[in-house]
Amino acid sequence: QELGTLGFECTLEEVDLEDITKNQINTIKACTSEDHGVKKKYIKFQHRIFMEQLKCLQGIYEDLNAYKAELKNFNDQKVLAAIDELMKVGI
């Protein structure tokens, strides 16, 4: 692979690095676990953990949906089918 390319027939200078997920959940923050320590109210603690996991999965789903919309232009049915399968797992 030629130095300075991304594996495509373009250089880094030609690639539009627009963040297509900027108006959505920040998936990295939503999916990064925090140290919750010891909690006295176990039910509320479990509910909070569940809600955090739900937000993480929602972020992943939204990201995949955005990537799918962008990748439709390439018309690669294998990639689009793979994204569809990943999106089914999160439902």
CA distances from 85 to 2, 53, 54, 70, 91 (A): 33, 20, 19, 17, 10
Written as six digits, the tokens of 16 are 């539009």
What digits encode the pLDDT tens for the residues 1-54?
Answer: 455 555 556 555 655 666 777 777 887 787 876 655 555 566 677 777 888 888
- Write down the pLDDT at residue 25: 80
The tally of CA atoms less than 13 A away on the side-chain side of residue 62 is 16
| Residue whose entry in the numeric block shows the structure tokens 């939503």 | 30
Written as six digits, the tokens of 24 are 């959505």
**H helix or E strand, kind and range, residue 47:** helix 42-71
What digits encode the pLDDT tens for the residues 60-84?
Answer: 899 999 989 988 888 889 999 999 9
